[in-house]
Structure 1
Amino acid sequence: MSRFGSITLVACALVGSGLVAGCTIALDPGRHQGAVDDDDGGSQSDGGGSDGGGHDDAQVDGDGGGGCAGGGVCEPAAPLGWNGPIVLVSGAGDVDPPACPASAPSTAFTGKSEPSASPATCGCECTPPSAAAMSCGVGTITTTGNAMCITIPTNHATISDGECRSIPALPSGGRWSVTSPAFSSSMGCTPAPSVDVPPITWEASHRGCGFGSPVSCGDARACAPERAEGERLCVWAEGEAACPAAFSEQVITADGADDERGCSECTCGSITGSCGGHVDIISECPAGPTTIAYARIGVASCTPASAIGGTRALASFTPTGSCPPSATTPTGTATPTGVRTVCCVPE
């Protein structure tokens, strides 16, 4: 034992046994002077609580719940990473959401939920080219002795559209006809698509209403205004997320939608066609005001023959063309934009 240690112990003995323990604690060689035992307690910040600050207008009871001044209610606070709490008011999806209540007057966000975007209705037609782009070839005037025009015909003369020419005299018995001229076109058809995209509908509209910085009223709790029917206490975050336990009822809202609905391309196949019309048997070429029309023989007809005096023919052929349209189908979807997750205290 050191010299100083011996003196100290002697002094303590002279004072009396009632102070020995106190001297031993103060001069224990294993301790530093000024150390504080854990159970002596450290100093606490003024007004400090479990939430790290004063409660301002809130009053806390012994079990961590609390009362709120001004008629508020003590509710779960917003967990880390979430905004709010806010009061959520909702209305029909085809109108603006209701206004914020006086107890939570500031708008934090607006949005709509549960979109419905039906596929487009698609159609495709093909517009044929103008008459100037289509033409008819040569027709042949024929005769047959069969009343049904089913025997091999006799060819009498060929004739083109608009042509007026002399022909051999036609027999007065049997049947007359004109073969169909060949169809041709210098152009194809023009696609004519139809696209009907129905409007996007929304099930509900929503407004998030703020009521200022939350005031703590206990562990993970904050004061919130009393709410009327249809008003809900919620927290929110950008994007889609799972709801925290205290705010378990989820509403996904969006600012709008990126609408990419439409139809596949409308196209037209190759043009095909035919030529109709007739040949008039007349008295003279060129035809004029005094021309006598004796008979009209239709293209692909089976016209009864008759005794006529004319040996001139005037052709009038009409081309008709069409193209097969492609099948069109709905394409694309409507994707919500400005998505946020709103999580509410169960009602």
Structure 2
Amino acid sequence: MDEPLCPSSAPAMVYWGYETPDYFFECSPCRCSEPACALPDDVRTAASLKCGGSEVAVREPQEILNGTCVVPSEALVNDHKSLLLGATRVTPCEAGVEPPPVPRLIPRWYRSGLACAGNLPEGTNVSPSATGVPSDEESGFARCVMYLGEGEVTCPEGYPVDVVLYDGIRDERYCTPCECGPPTGSECSLMLLSFRDGACEELLTAGAASSDAPGCLAATPGVKPKSMKAIWQVNQPGSCEPSGGEPRGEIVLTGPTTFCCQRRPGEKE
């Protein structure tokens, strides 16, 4: 808003301050990235046909686990071994923020005040450290005593209304960090398949693994699989609940100056 000019009875501006800040502040809404069903870290071979006995980790099955049809090596599987497929996983969500639904506004003040100097009426009893401002009702001014020092002010008789104006603000507001809860509603299960042919067409055996339990692909005695692949049987990673993004802190008004007035400026008697 535009401040009025000093009245002719008090033409010299001695102070310009602010009473109430109007500084919009809003935290951007938090969001969470989508989780994902994740493949097991590895495939292990077991010495027996039914996934029993000693286990040996095999590091070459990543192509199998990503759905590609591959021809297994002798080290990975033969007709005297079975395959252990680890439990599936769900990747965690990452926290972020959405764009603000409305633009942030430039800091401004809702109400400001202007003090103008003039001659004190005869008989006015004020502190030697104060300056008087004559009134001009039509322009919204009131006769006040301006205190230049610091500390608590007790308004003198005849000037009962105290008005405090400030030089500026210090914005100490902030938003709490965004966080994501664990994935919920997740269901991830993987099917490991072996085939008689080298093109993953003639199914030989199948074994499933989920997030609750690893899987076993038992070997078929006397038959060596010529190709293998893994496919998602259920791929529903669920979702994560966001939290945070809450406003905290406050605006601190700085540089206060106290005026004791006969009435509140801008108000009619």
TM-score when scaled to structure 1? 0.42
Among residues 112, 123, 128, which one is paired with 1:205 in the alignment? 112
Among residues 249, 260, 266, which one is paired with 1:343 in the alignment? 260
C-alpha distance 226-96 of structure 1, shift in aligned 2 (>3 A): closer
Structure 1 gap segments, 5+ residues each: 1-94, 140-157, 167-178, 301-310
Equivalent residue, structure 2, for 1:125: 31
Distance 1:330 1:274 in 2: 35
Q: CA deviation at 1:129?
A: 8.3
Distance 1:223 1:136 in 2: 80
CA-based RMSD: 5.3
Q: CA deviation at 1:261?
A: 1.2
The CA deviation string for residues 173-204 of structure 1, in whole angstroms up to 9 with x for no partner, is xxxxxx9951265xx65432569777766442
Among residues 59, 66, 69, which one is paired with 1:161 in the alignment? 66
**Match status 1:228 vs 2:138:** yes
Distance 1:118 1:329 in 2: 14
Equivalent residue, structure 2, for 1:192: 96
C-alpha distance 226-160 of structure 1, shift in aligned 2 (>3 A): closer
Equivalent residue, structure 1, for 2:75: none
Equivalent residue, structure 2, for 1:248: 160
Higher RCO, Cα 8 Å, sep 6+: 2
Q: Does the 8 A contact of 1:136 with 1:161 survive in 2?
A: no
**Match status 1:266 vs 2:178:** yes
The CA deviation string for residues 68-106 of structure 1, in whole angstroms up to 9 with x for no partner, is xxxxxxxxxxxxxxxxxxxxxxxxxxx242222233222
Q: CA deviation at 1:265?
A: 3.0
Q: Does the 8 A contact of 1:136 with 1:275 survive in 2?
A: no
Equivalent residue, structure 1, for 2:250: 333
Residues 62-101 of structure 1: matches in 2 within 5 Å?
95-101=1-7
Distance 1:223 1:204 in 2: 19
Q: CA deviation at 1:279?
A: 7.7
Bigger Rg, structure 1 or 2: 1
Q: Does the 8 A contact of 1:97 with 1:110 survive in 2?
A: no
Structure 2 gap segments, 5+ residues each: 44-60, 73-84, 127-131, 210-225, 264-268
Distance 2:124 2:236 in 1: 88
Residues 305-320 of structure 1: matches in 2 within 5 Å?
314-317=229-232, 320=237
TM-score when scaled to structure 2? 0.52
Distance 2:197 2:40 in 1: 24
Q: CA deviation at 1:207?
A: 0.8
Q: CA deviation at 1:233?
A: 1.2
Q: Does the 8 A contact of 2:10 with 2:133 survive in 1?
A: no
The CA deviation string for residues 129-164 of structure 1, in whole angstroms up to 9 with x for no partner, is 899xx544689xxxxxxxxxxxxxxxxxx9633343
C-alpha distance 165-315 of structure 1, shift in aligned 2 (>3 A): farther
Q: Does the 8 A contact of 2:6 with 2:116 survive in 1?
A: yes
Match of 2:96, as an amino acid? A
Equivalent residue of 1:228, what SS?
helix
Distance 2:11 2:246 in 1: 48
Aligned length: 208
The CA deviation string for residues 265-291 of structure 1, in whole angstroms up to 9 with x for no partner, is 334456786646778999964x6xxx9
Equivalent residue of 2:258, what SS?
strand
